[in-house]
Amino acid sequence: MNYKKQMKKISLALVLLVTFASCDSDDDNSTTVQEQTITEIAVGNENLTSLVAALQVAGLAEALNGDGPFTVFAPTNAAFSAFLTANGFSQLSDVPVDLLTQVLLNHVISGELMAGDLSTSYGNTLATTTAGENLSIYINTSNGVRLNNVSSVTQADITASNGVIHVVDAVIGLPSVVDFALADPTFETLVAALTRDDLTFDYVTTLSTPNGTSPAPFTVFAPTNEAFGDLLAELGASGLSDISEPVLKATLDHHAVAGANVQSSSLTDNMVVGTLGGNITINVTGGATITDANNRVSNIIAVDVQALNGVIHAIDKVILPPL
């Protein structure tokens, strides 16, 4: 009888011991597994002190301390130093706050994108044009992760409670339509055409015109490399050098609209658009197309690559002037 009472006391003691141990373990876990926010991680990283200072100047530190989730491409101190030097600023306080804010937002994408989620494509950052369109960002994963062809990820997947940080080696500036054409290998032949030595018009300088300054903004219908290959076959030419300067210039003129940032949502059927070279007609029923003066039809295959000074739509056939 005494033996049974003793066993009951031992059993009760063990139950109480396990219960208290479990409570202590739960308390410890709730403290150690709690993740820091993006801002808190940046504050604790000695290589991101310039980023933290910039976020505080722009009033964005609290935003990246919020719910999110966000994907942040975080420039290092060295990246910020190079950015200031390249743009003629001696220190962070010299950068206009509005400009600094948009540059910082150009490093933030809504949603959590781990390195394994990234692919060669365009995304949208939280930076905006003066009209409120979100700027695009070109992500190239063919050799690591490169952004707008100016910045590479050097450390990926630093997880936070409200998103993820990828450390990058350069500040990603606010892109022009020229920047995207240069960054995306899909447009290599277009760039070669726009920069041919004998052209009598400086397309690169013109299409780099800042927004708010005439003739910006621009809407550019950008032929792919394959589109130019098909054109050369159509014309019986072996290369761009076989096309005379007047014909090449007239052709390129038909791919740019000045003074308008026309996103795909604004395109309609039988829409006559005045390019630098003449009118083209757009239709959207059954798929967005462009008809040139020769009744040749180009398909719009990618839309709304938004730059600071205009928007790009990719097309699968080169638009020709009247032949």
Average pLDDT over residues 57-76: 96
With cut-offs at 50, 70 and 90, classify the pLDDT of residue 13. very low
Distance CA(253)–CA(206), nearest Å, equals 12
- Tokens representing 227? 């589109």
In b/e form, how buried is each residue of 255-280, taking b as 16+ CB within 10 angstroms? Answer: bbbbeebbeeeebeeeeebebbbeeb
Q: d(Cα 22, Cα 28) in Å, to the nearest integer?
A: 10
Mean pLDDT to the nearest integer, 144-172? 98
Look at residue 79 in the predicted model and tell me its pLDDT. 98
Residues 257-283 have a mean pLDDT of 98
Task: Check residue 297 and give its pLDDT.
Answer: 98
User: Do 290 and 300 form a contact (C-beta atoms < 8 A)?
Assistant: yes
Mapping DSSP to helix (H, G, I), strand (E, B) and coil, where does residue 237 land? coil
Mean pLDDT of 24-38: 55
pLDDT digit string, tens, across residues 169-188: 999 999 999 999 999 999 99
Q: Is residue 126's pLDDT more than 90?
A: yes
The predicted structure's pLDDT at residue 17:
35
Can you say how many angstroms the Cα of residue 145 is from the centroid of all Cα atoms in its chain?
12
**What single-letter amino acid sits at 240?**
L
Q: Looking at residues 299-322, what average pLDDT do you find? A: 98
Contacts of 188 (CB under 8 A, 6+ apart): 225
- pLDDT, residue 323, reads 84
Contact 114, 100 (CB under 8 A): no
Residue intervals in the chain for CATH 2.30.180.10: 38-168, 177-315
Span 177-315 CATH architecture? Roll (2.30)
73 or 8, greater pLDDT: 73
Residue 69 and residue 80: Cα distance in Å, rounded? 24
Residue length of the chain: 323
pTM score of the predicted model: 0.88
Its sign, for the CA torsion 96, 98, 99, 105, is: positive
Higher pLDDT, 278 or 11: 278
pLDDT in tens, 193-227: 999 999 999 999 999 999 999 999 999 999 999 99
pLDDT digits (tens, 9 = 90+) for 100-110: 999 999 999 99
pLDDT number for residue 16:
35
Up-side HSE of residue 198: CA atoms within 13 Å toward CB?
9
Q: Which two tokens stand for residue 181?
A: 């054409």
pLDDT band at 258 (very low <50, low <70, confident <90, very high): very high
Residue in 53, 69, 68 with CA at minimum distance from that of residue 45: 53
DSSP string over 62-109: TGGGSS--EEEEEE-HHHHHHHHHHTT-SSGGGS-HHHHHHHHHTTEE
The torsion defined by the Cα of 128, 257, 263 and 163, in degrees rounded to 10, comes to -30
Q: Is pLDDT above 70 for 164?
A: yes
Q: Collapsing DSSP states into helix, strand and coil, what is residue 247?
A: helix
Confidence of residue 34 (pLDDT cuts 50, 70, 90): low
User: What is the arithmetic mean of pLDDT over 259-277?
Assistant: 98
Q: 38-168 domain in CATH 3.30.390.10?
A: no
Confidence check: pLDDT of 321 > 80: yes
